[in-house]
Structure 1
Amino acid sequence: MDLRDLRYFEVIAELEHVGQAAERLHRTQPALTSSVRRLEEVCGAPLFERSGRGIKLTAAGQVMLKWARRTRLDVEEARREIGDIGSGLSGTVRIGIIPTAAQFLLPPAVRQLIAEAPKVQLHTVVGLSDVLQPKLRSGELDMTIETESAGEPGITSQFLAEDPIVVAASATHEVFLSSPVLKDLCAYRWVLQPPGAPTRDWLDQTFERRRLPRPQVQIESSMLLMLPALIAETGLLSFISRHHLQAGQLGSGLKEVNVKGTTMRRRMVVTYRESSYLSPASNRLIALLAAAATRNA
């Protein structure tokens, strides 16, 4: 079984179209068709079937796709591990990271890593878990730094830090003139992430459990790093990581609104595939991220 045939098969399966796969791979359609036929001869079963103007995987094809991906990852990681023998802290680390961790944990960890290993290269993808997890599973990323979620087969997690999410406002906001309770927050307008974001859904449900209307959202923003500036400039309430309120940060002019039951306890973790190879540089970065998390706690 040729590794190139497996790689071509993966792309055809992803696009569900031989012509489009040929364009991406810079191969001819007959070459890709021959590649699929060779795999079908080895498997003894058809891997694709017609579907409208394209094709789709058969049951046998779905099984083959699972093993093709696993085989490719194993070969790629074997090459990386062999290449790292005797090279120490070097090579490329591919990391996916959520915005809060990218702002507060990554910079000091990377500063130390580069000081120790000037030849290390870092490829980063900043996004939320719905973007990062598929890239981790496909092998595009070595690891991710994100908030803890339900366990998934083949994926392991290592705790880094607590990341409490709290109600916050400008330090001069009128909400601080009294000692508010949850019901009092219904009188104010908010800047929040869109529905579907874990923090937004958690806050909405907190109000609903107390039979209160959801927060009045005047501004929705999916750009987390914009929230501290928006809170300061607009006088709106928001729901953000407590890290933003630390001295020296953009949100240091903001203040936590201490209302019982409005602190969302999140755990930040590093995740990676259980069977994957983590280079010495990757392991060192994990240790430095854990140290940075401890300092920020």
Structure 2
Amino acid sequence: MDLRDLRYFETIAELQHLGRASARLHRTQPALTSSVRRLEADCGAALFERSGRGIRLTEAGKVLLKWAQRMRFDVEDAKRELQSIGAGLSGHVRIGIVPTAAQFLLPAVARQLLREAPDVTLRTVVGLIDSLKPQLRAGELDLMVGTESAAEDGWVSNALAEDMIVVAASARHPVFRSAMTLRNLADHSWALQPPGAPTRDWLDHAFDRQGLPRPRVQVETTMLLMLPTLIVQTGLLSFISRHHLEGRARIPGLKEVPVKGAAMRRRLVVTYRANSFLSPAARRLLQLFEQSAAPPVVAE
């Protein structure tokens, strides 16, 4: 099999449309059709079938896609490993990271890495875990720092720290003048992430379990780093990391609303693809993250 045909095949499989693949790859549709036919001849099976206005993988196509990705990773890793010989702590490291870890874990780790290896370049992608996983899976990231989720074959995850997500508000908020119960929280407006975000879903279900109406959301945003400052300036409640309320990172005027049953515990982990090549710089970054791991928080 030709590696170029396999690369074209991956793109066609991703887009599920020959025309869009042609535009991305800057190849004509007949050229891509010929490429697919060569692969089908090698495999002895059809790789695509029609689906509406597009195409989709057959069972044979799904098997080939798995191996095509693995072969591409091997070729790319071989190139990177060869380039790293004699280079020491240099080169380019690609890391995906969730907002909380980007704000509270990454700065000290990156500072130490750049102190040891001033020639290293870092590309950071800040996002939610669901947007980072496909990039790690596709080989677009070397490391991912995010919230712990179900184990995946071919990935290695190491624990870094535990994080508590708590209800918070401006210290002047009227919620502090009444009994702080989940029922009373339902009387106030909130600033939260959209449904589907893990912390939002957890909070909604906490109200569901008590038979209470879900939080009344007045501001909905995916910009997590905006929430602490926003709720200090407004009369809104929110659900944010306790890191914003403690130590040197504490935001003045922000206060935790201590409500039983409204604190979510989550664990932050660093993840990479098993058996993939990590440059010396990427391995050092991995070590620095693991060394920064804080002791677990005390159970509430």
Give TM-score, length-normalised by structure 1: 0.92
Moved more, 267-276 or 158-167: 267-276
Structure 2 distance, partners of 1:177, 1:19, is: 62
- One-letter code aligned to 1:57: L
Once the two structures are aligned, what percentage of the paired residues are identical?
67
For structure 1, the 5+ residue unaligned runs are none
Q: CA deviation at 1:44?
A: 1.7
Query: How do 1:1-297 residues align onto structure 2 when only pairs under 5 Å count?
Result: 1-177=1-177, 180-249=180-249, 251-294=251-294
Tell me the SS of whatever aligns to 1:265. strand
Checking the alignment, whether the CA contact within 8 Å between 1:193 and 1:200 is kept in structure 2 is yes
Tell me the SS of whatever aligns to 1:266. strand
Structure 2 distance, partners of 1:260, 1:296, is: 20
Tell me the SS of whatever aligns to 1:166. strand
Structure 2 distance, partners of 1:242, 1:127, is: 19
Structure 2 distance, partners of 1:278, 1:247, is: 34
Checking the alignment, whether the CA contact within 8 Å between 2:93 and 2:281 is kept in structure 1 is yes
Tell me the SS of whatever aligns to 1:163. strand
Distance 1:179 1:54, change over 3 A: closer
Checking the alignment, whether the CA contact within 8 Å between 2:243 and 2:250 is kept in structure 1 is no
RMSD: 2.0
Q: CA deviation at 1:258?
A: 1.3
Q: CA deviation at 1:103?
A: 1.2
Moved more, 53-62 or 281-290: 53-62
Tell me the SS of whatever aligns to 2:96. strand
Structure 1 distance, partners of 2:295, 2:159, is: 15
For structure 2, the 5+ residue unaligned runs are none
Tell me the SS of whatever aligns to 1:71. helix
The runs of 4+ residues in structure 1 deviating greater than 4 Å are none
Q: CA deviation at 1:296?
A: 11
Moved more, 201-210 or 263-272: 201-210
Q: CA deviation at 1:20?
A: 2.7
- One-letter code aligned to 1:230: L
- One-letter code aligned to 2:222: S
Q: CA deviation at 1:72?
A: 0.5
Tell me the SS of whatever aligns to 2:172. coil
Checking the alignment, whether the CA contact within 8 Å between 1:228 and 1:250 is kept in structure 2 is no
- One-letter code aligned to 1:238: S
Checking the alignment, whether the CA contact within 8 Å between 1:168 and 1:239 is kept in structure 2 is yes
Q: CA deviation at 1:194?
A: 1.6
Checking the alignment, whether the CA contact within 8 Å between 2:158 and 2:269 is kept in structure 1 is yes
List per-residue Cα deviations over 1:13-44 (Å, max 9, x = no partner): 22233333222222233332332222222212
List per-residue Cα deviations over 1:19-72 (Å, max 9, x = no partner): 332222222333323322222222122222344444332222221111111111
Give TM-score, length-normalised by structure 2: 0.91
Structure 2 distance, partners of 1:159, 1:16, is: 37
Moved more, 221-230 or 51-60: 51-60
Distance 1:228 1:44, change over 3 A: same
Checking the alignment, whether the CA contact within 8 Å between 2:113 and 2:285 is kept in structure 1 is yes
- One-letter code aligned to 2:120: V
Checking the alignment, whether the CA contact within 8 Å between 2:160 and 2:292 is kept in structure 1 is no
Q: CA deviation at 1:164?
A: 0.5
- One-letter code aligned to 2:260: K
Structure 2 distance, partners of 1:214, 1:55, is: 41
